[in-house]
Structure 1
């Protein structure tokens, strides 16, 4: 922090929109033909912490993350001439961000800034005070804040959802699609000689008659590095239709801990192209489409982000123009197949991962099945197939009983050994009410199957749910449940958190106990041992809310007010730590002798601090700070500043 503050102090004196001096005169490039300028110390070697197209948990990364050596306050230069068309300041997301529109119609974006400079900073501060808000979004006309290439437009920072000091930089076309800066700008400051690195693959059975190493499901295999390429030496037994997934990263420098995404992936089977991905243009308005490209379930369960090397149902992304089909492999039953995955980064550095698929006929006796430790039945749903696992049971000949709408049928295991028996059910032929095997029963509680691409309304004794058009990517086998524990707390299950939603759904819960309608009561989604506040509106004894996540929900009452801890209060600034234990901070407001005082907020450090309209006027008088949580609980702090 000492070095960060020193850097800020040094560059705070840089004149607003000061022209930079570079080795090549800018006059050589007419305005319409300006090449993009590297925005941090142009002309000096730079490095990145992230690239465009990289897989994030909730979105594709839309630009490049330029490292600032963990410092705040480096001068940020305008990459091309134009005008500042927009600024935004939020406690999350991009934080403090500037948009510059250029003569070619493209816009560059500079995010996670520490502060704006000069007339722009003064104008934004005045607007914050006029609107009495710290979070603000302003648009400008062409004649308000013009800039020339190389002007210092701001100081770099760590604002918003940034996980460390850096500059996020985008190039967007006139349709607001993000372009790859490494391809469009070709910054000479960034030298990349390293090809992408593959960590592992996953093979997934795509239907009930497919197998991998004689099993149904999804299985991961680590790759071995050989030079710049990767291999899986032992052949993998496979049957039927198989999907391949890949964990690969693009190393950004030899000693760097940072990795980028792999935008160019090609897969060949016996030298024939079956899949081709090229991420060169991103629709920033459709961030959740990432859930169709990566394995969402694995990301949720393990935190690992796999590229799907097949085009799954619901995937309308425009990255696959060169793909001859869906990328799903139909295993050749007559011979071993050679699979090669080629990975390439934006600089053309390439590497490959190779493995072999050895055909294997369907078999019921699978010697390699590991012991089944649980005494109960377990189940999982993959695509349209339910997998049920049980201990083998000789006295019933390993038969399982399937109960569907009052009818019982018996089925044999799809495969088994002395350790476990595995049953596969095609849910398109019927959804079981319960399954029994070896004197054990399990009730999946799948209420209904909901097709994608349609509106759907679900009604039950405990909840009503409305799915708008295109809310789900693929057919949803909706499991629901209701439980009330000994303390009276109710838990409502709506699907599983490993299934993504494309749009919010509307839910109305019908509690089994009586509540007195109170703003302090709200719906929360359980998240591990914590809770995420969703709010809700009480209507005729029910509570209605919207959610963009499936999972478990409960109703809680937040009666504890937020905490306020003083960091420092003096004539130049007031700084506090604020925190809420359940519903979260909703808003805060500070006044001095009744006059509104701007307070900025950093959610990462739970810190708020004052910013004066005029820094020559000291803070003086009775300071009052009120912090309110989402349940309406308030805390107040007062102090006289002399």
Structure 2
């Protein structure tokens, strides 16, 4: 392919919305230089990242400060999600969120621990009225941690509009994050659109980096309607981890085509990430392409204009330009020369249709009944008409098409043929991986399940109860010098459903860290010390198998 010569056209990056947010109201929530471990709007498996992640020097326990005065409006403690999280409402109409915390300050810890003991539950979702827990600006409110669905110590930080909980990009509020690095373009893809509005498989285009900000694509020969997709990442100055890109803009012969950024979004639309990326390509390749055009069902609020993003190829020569940029104005540009040609691209010829037996009109409700199963699919479960393979076999029910995204729950009922203790409904995905679906049975002995996961459902049995082991002392030990009690609990098949621990016949607040298969308790004011102490541990898995063990420890 011959190299192109072209005139570099400067296209300005206008991020005027940045001026709409107060730049000096919120202060640094950590008393260290801020380094990003994750950016706002980053693409996650099933949602957009709703905040920014600050590095905490690869450790837990750093002081976390309130970014402004206000009051604690919500305390959330979960095994997954944000783990221990704190929500603070501020007088200016914003809410800040601090997630994956190790613990709260004494004032907040005492308040929420009383409620946990009253409810006899570690997991809490508690909302507070104004005036109960007032917070000053720069008040130490917690310590950073790794709780919840976090796989390395960091602080998850959000800014929301209090009135509707819409999340906003915290970088728009003036935080000092050093960034002089331009986004990186990893891959570029071409899509064709036929007369029936069928989108082709992506065609990977060769790109060459011309300098620190300019990429040049090979020539594209096409006619009719086409679109492009892109893969890339951004880095800041003080870390090499790959973060998400803030803004995407495209131009065709200097006319703006599509423009979107990650300034804000609502939680309700986060699932529509599956319409922004090439979902089929992601499922098959475990890599994401951001489509620079709006596919069916994409009604995301991130777009700054109403255009579709597709282009109709004009007479030669023509240039398609992609500009990606960060919040500091660092940008990278891709130039794509397009030659109008009547040649039919092979990508339209090579589309492999999924082998299916059911055509689903997305505007209709469906109720498929079989001898041993029932499947209910409500209208708007998908974003367009789809093809499914739905098949009832002797011991399973198939609802298969791994290349499509599901946006509403599908109801699955499956007959529990053999009434055995420990039976459950399992799911096998396209790669043969099996997982627990449900153990819920209705009065007619059918498993009932709501799911967005397609695959093969079948009945499986788990007869093995969970295991319990002492971790940091032995039975009958003196532990006067220890601040914690730790257990290892494990269930190798369906997982842990619930746990309860009593010390001297009193419910005791143990935390469950599922990433370490650990239950632990820090001695607190609720512990009534005796020289000889009895611990009773009760564990139940997802199908009702139970294990109970008792241990004794001595403490002065």
Q: TM-score range by the shorter chain?
A: 0.7 to 0.9
Map of 1:627 onto structure 2? 539
* Shift in Å, 1:123: 1.4
628 and 454 in structure 1: CA distance in 2 versus 1, 3 angstrom threshold: same
Map of 1:117 onto structure 2? 105
- Asked whether the 8 Å contact 2:23–2:174 carries over to 1, the reply is no
Written as runs of structure 1 = structure 2, the 5 A alignment for 1:589-600 is 589-600=500-511
From the CA coordinates, give the structure whose radius of gyration is larger: 1
Aligned partners of 1:238 and 1:577: how far apart in 2?
61
Map of 1:337 onto structure 2? 318
532-541 or 60-69: bigger deviation: 532-541
Aligned partners of 1:133 and 1:616: how far apart in 2?
16
138 and 540 in structure 1: CA distance in 2 versus 1, 3 angstrom threshold: closer
User: Over the residues paired in the alignment, what is the CA RMSD in angstroms?
Assistant: 2.6
Aligned partners of 1:38 and 1:70: how far apart in 2?
18
Q: Which residue, out of 361, 368, 388, partners 1:478?
A: 388
* Shift in Å, 1:120: 1.1
Map of 2:13 onto structure 1? none
Q: Which residue, out of 485, 489, 499, partners 1:574?
A: 485
286 and 612 in structure 1: CA distance in 2 versus 1, 3 angstrom threshold: farther
* Shift in Å, 1:234: 2.1
208 and 581 in structure 1: CA distance in 2 versus 1, 3 angstrom threshold: farther
Q: Of the two structures, which has the highest relative contact order with CA contacts closer than 8 Å and spacing of 6 or more?
A: 2
Written as runs of structure 1 = structure 2, the 5 A alignment for 1:228-627 is 228-253=212-237, 256-323=239-306, 325-332=307-314, 334-362=315-343, 444-451=355-362, 453-460=363-370, 463-483=373-393, 490-509=395-414, 515-518=417-420, 520-527=422-429, 528-535=431-438, 536-540=440-444, 542-569=446-473, 570=479, 572-614=483-525, 617-618=528-529, 620-627=532-539
* Shift in Å, 1:423: 7.9
Aligned partners of 2:208 and 2:196: how far apart in 1?
30
Aligned partners of 2:93 and 2:459: how far apart in 1?
49
With the length of structure 2 as denominator, give the TM-score of the two structures.
0.87
With the length of structure 1 as denominator, give the TM-score of the two structures.
0.76
* Shift in Å, 1:531: 2.2
Aligned length: 522
- Asked whether the 8 Å contact 1:240–1:331 carries over to 2, the reply is yes
Map of 1:202 onto structure 2? 189
Aligned partners of 1:549 and 1:311: how far apart in 2?
24
- Asked whether the 8 Å contact 1:76–1:153 carries over to 2, the reply is yes
Query: Helix, strand or coil for the counterpart of 1:286?
Result: helix
Aligned partners of 1:344 and 1:37: how far apart in 2?
25
Q: Which residue, out of 172, 175, 185, partners 2:164?
A: 175
Aligned partners of 2:392 and 2:406: how far apart in 1?
21
- Asked whether the 8 Å contact 1:198–1:230 carries over to 2, the reply is no
Structure 2 spans left out of the alignment, 5+ residues: 1-21, 474-478
Aligned partners of 1:479 and 1:468: how far apart in 2?
17
* Shift in Å, 1:261: 1.6
Structure 1 spans left out of the alignment, 5+ residues: 1-31, 367-386, 388-413, 416-421, 426-442, 485-489
Q: Which residue, out of 200, 205, 211, partners 1:227?
A: 211
Written as runs of structure 1 = structure 2, the 5 A alignment for 1:132-147 is 132-147=120-135
* Shift in Å, 1:641: 1.4
Aligned partners of 1:291 and 1:519: how far apart in 2?
38
- Asked whether the 8 Å contact 1:211–1:217 carries over to 2, the reply is no
- Asked whether the 8 Å contact 1:95–1:160 carries over to 2, the reply is yes
- Asked whether the 8 Å contact 1:87–1:97 carries over to 2, the reply is yes
592 and 276 in structure 1: CA distance in 2 versus 1, 3 angstrom threshold: same
211 and 471 in structure 1: CA distance in 2 versus 1, 3 angstrom threshold: closer
* Shift in Å, 1:564: 1.9
